Structures are given as structure tokens and as C-alpha cells.
Structure 1
Amino acid sequence: MKSFNLAKFLPCAVLFANGRTFGGVIALLMQATIVFWPVASRWAFQLEERKGIEALLDELSEADGFVESIFRGPVAKIGRAA
């Protein structure tokens, strides 16, 4: 939740931290105009949100592979015996 607050107040810092130098410079310019600050903030928030979703999907795919490997062994043995 802390990174979402950082995305509100310092969107350029979030983009720089994620290795998006060009995006960070653009966000810094948007912050300087103050009018486009909400746009930069939304951009950084979406980046953080997307990163969290990708991490969750990676975790779920790893768990799916584990379950698949558990059931793959006994089913293969039964198939060979029949």
C-alpha cells in the first residue's frame, strides 16, 4: 500500500524505481505543470497495479504447476498398468 501512496505524491519516483527513465522524466515534467499531476499519478498507479497483478499471476502459475506435477505421477502409473 505504501507504493500506491508514493504513486500519488511522487509519480516520477515510482517510474524511476521501475527502471523507466524516460517515463520518469515525462512524469517529472507533468508534475512540474501541476495541471497534469493527476495524469502522472494515474500512470504510476497503473504501473504499480500491473506489477502486483503480474506477481500474483506468476504465483498462481507456479502453484498450478505444483498441483499438476502431483497428479501427473499417479495417473501415468495407472495408465501403464492398464
Structure 2
Amino acid sequence: MDKIFPCAKFFADGRTAAGIMALLMQLTLVLWPFAARWATQAHERQRIERLLDELSEANIPTIDPYARAPRKKFRQMAL
């Protein structure tokens, strides 16, 4: 769908300015492949960000190993 109607992808995402620019690129027919590639990259970027968010949420440690680390106390030595 991104390659046939690139502007639809941006309008569906709520990015109206990008959708209008993609629509203008589609109207020229010469810039249509660039608009299609732009929409495809935007879709891939969203998918990758969603996967990274899922991974970061899944790998959150339940216990902070440094929270209970004993603090070292240093004594000053008078010479």
C-alpha cells in the first residue's frame, strides 16, 4: 500500500504535512518513486522503534543490583 499510495500512509499516521508533500510528489509522477520510498522508510522506522520499545520493556530488571550496594566508608588518616 505504501508503494501505490504513499500519501495514505502519512495521513493514516496523522502526519498531514508529510501526507500533503507526498501527494504533491505523486501528482508529478516523476517523484512518485521517491514518495513511495519515503513512505516505506517511515513504515520501517515505526516498526523498528516499536520492536525496540518492546525489547526495552521486556528487559527492565526487576531489582536494581546497585540499589543495595554497601557504601564504602573511608577514614582519614592524620599523619
**Same-fold call, TM cutoff 0.5:** yes
Equivalent positions of 1:36-51 (< 5 A) are 36-51=31-46
**Bigger radius of gyration, 1 or 2?**
2
Find the partner of 1:7 among 2, 11, 24.
2
Unpaired segments ≥5 residues, structure 1: 1-5
- 2:63 equivalent to 1:58: no
**Hey, what's the Cα distance between the residues in 2 that align with 1:22 and 1:55?**
23
User: Which position in structure 2 is the counterpart of 1:3?
Assistant: none
Aligned residues: 68
TM-score for the superposition, normalised by structure 2: 0.78
User: Which position in structure 2 is the counterpart of 1:28?
Assistant: 23
Q: Relative to total residues, which structure has the larger helix share, 1 or 2? A: 1
TM-score for the superposition, normalised by structure 1: 0.75
Runs of 4+ in 1 over 3 A off after TM superposition: none
The structural deviation recorded for 1:11 is 0.1
Identical positions, percent: 53
